[in-house]
Homo-oligomer: A and B are copies of this chain.
Amino acid sequence: MFEAAELDQRVSKQEFEERVPVLRASLLDAQRLLAESDFAVVIVIAGAEGAGKGEVINSISEWLDTHGLEVHALDTTSSEENERPVLFRFWRRLPARGRTAVFFGSWYTLPIVERALDQSDEDHFDHELERIVEYERMLARENIVLVKLWLHISKKRQKKVFKKLESDPDTAWRVGERDWEFHETYDAFVAAAGRALRETDKAHARWNVINARDRRHRDLTSGQILLGAIEERLNAPPPTPAGPETPPVPPRVNVINSLDLSLRLEREEYDERLSSAQGRLGNLARRLTASQRAAVIVFEGTDAAGKGGCIRRITRALDARWYGVIPVAAPTDEELAHPYLWRFWRQVPAGGRFAIYDRSWYGRVLVERVEGFASRHEWQRAFGEINEFEEQLTEGGIQVFKFWLATSPEEQLRRFEDRRATPYKQYKITPDDWRNREKWLAYEAAACDMIERTSTEFAPWKLVSAEDKRHARVTVLETLCQGLEAVLERKKKSER
């Protein structure tokens, strides 16, 4: 991977001074067109210590218009980041459409360093690289142009650089013990890096290995690659629009219409089981929060299926410090300017917290699919992206619970009419609700599709018959308790 990058490639001072103004003017032109486009640019700067990553960033910062440019140094993680899945810190820094972000340090740093220092094994490394491929594929599909630069220097050269820095009192501080440690493990580092680059060098996210020996060659090449990537994207033909979609039709017998909607609970049994489940939930929640784990609880279902009622029965059992209820409504313009899942990553709960979603990221494959707000490409790839998202939450110590609440169309109508008649319920009913009713079958089909494709072993859907509210609430609370018990049990075992 790095052979060519050890050849002797140089740019003379004269050539550099001739070419930089031309490059700069072209970069500024490209940046101006980018600002009006629907895509964003992420530049990943990686490579060996001593190769001059910081200097490349300084050059790029000087050449580009700082309006529209962000530089993110990712050398330390905050407690807010440590409490969340690893990709959280990158998600939160993704640039909005029209903008460019430089990442100094990236999702490659930790996996490569850990592998080089033998702190992780091959399997784990492969798993992380696969995750990166998925992440970058998602970014590319979300209109983020990835420019990945690997700055390479040989081991010999690295030693020379370190020695030279050390010999000058003004720069000696730049070389620490850790750098010499890295130098000792140079070969292992290059081996791990080589593997990472090969495995993640995909059409949508190519690696560029740059010979970093000569700084003028290095900076100029970096700038040219960046320019090429933006121009290529600007000149790309617009995607062919997908043809018109026919509304989905559910299978005659499906997981939703097979639910037994006749299940009911009488008041007395309800009161008893609800109160017992709430006590249990309070205790489990306390144990979960004490262990700094977190939970995400998602509610989806037909309109008026009783999501709010279930949520209130849960929150009554919890300390107000432990939970947040997140009703999912229209995105803000900052949210619209980012990849679809960005707005949900923003709200990933910290350790020790419950995030309860009244509707969720599943909107993409439900209302957005049925109403045509998302293109076919968008909602089709959402299944995989959502599974990936939930897997990352789970691995990050955040348990995911998902409830689908189902009623019959007749019961829905009764509830709509009740809402219309009760002053403090009127706000809940809108013309949209009446319109959606007419597309009952299309929504049912979309929901069946969703349940089939996103019921995973780490985050299965629980289908709840909600024709009777009491039955639904008790089912939700008891399911949640069982789930939390299983999580805490697993945790105990793993600690043994």
- Which A residues are within 8 Å of any B CB, using their own CB? 21, 24-25, 28, 32, 53-55, 57-58, 61-62, 65-67, 69-71, 73, 75, 78-80, 104, 170, 173, 279, 282-283, 286, 308, 311-312, 315-316, 319-322, 324-325, 327, 329, 332-334, 350, 358, 423-424, 427-428
A24:B319 contact, CB within 8 angstroms:
no
Q: Are A53 and B320 in contact (CB under 8 A)?
A: yes
Starting from the known contacts A71-B324, A332-B334, 19 additional A-B residue pairs (CB-CB under 8 Å) come to A24-B424, A54-B319, A55-B320, A61-B320, A61-B325, A65-B428, A66-B311, A66-B327, A66-B358, A67-B327, A70-B324, A71-B320, A73-B321, A73-B322, A78-B350, A79-B79, A104-B321, A332-B333, A333-B333
User: Which residue of B is nearest A328, CB measured?
Assistant: B67
Most buried by B among A53, A286, A312, A319: A319
Q: B321 and A58: CB pair below 8 A?
A: no
Give chain B nearest CB distance to A325 CB in angstroms: 5
* 20 A-B contact pairs sorted by A residue (CB < 8 Å): A25-B424, A54-B319, A57-B320, A58-B316, A61-B320, A62-B312, A65-B428, A66-B311, A66-B325, A66-B327, A66-B358, A67-B327, A69-B325, A70-B324, A71-B320, A73-B320, A78-B350, A332-B332, A332-B334, A333-B334
Pick from B25, B53, B79, B424: contact of A28, CB below 8 A: B424
* Copies of this chain, count: 2
Q: Is chain A's interface secondary structure helix, strand, loop, or mixed overall?
A: helix
A70 to B323, CA, bound (A): 11
**Chain B residues positioned under 8 Å from A53 (CB to CB):** 320
Nearest neighbor of A173 in chain B, beta-carbon distance: B286
* Contact indicator A320/B28 (Cβ below 8 Å): no
A286 to B173 alpha-carbon distance, docked (Å): 9
Q: Are B104 and A320 in contact (CB under 8 A)?
A: yes
**Minimum CB–CB distance for A269 against chain B, Å:** 21
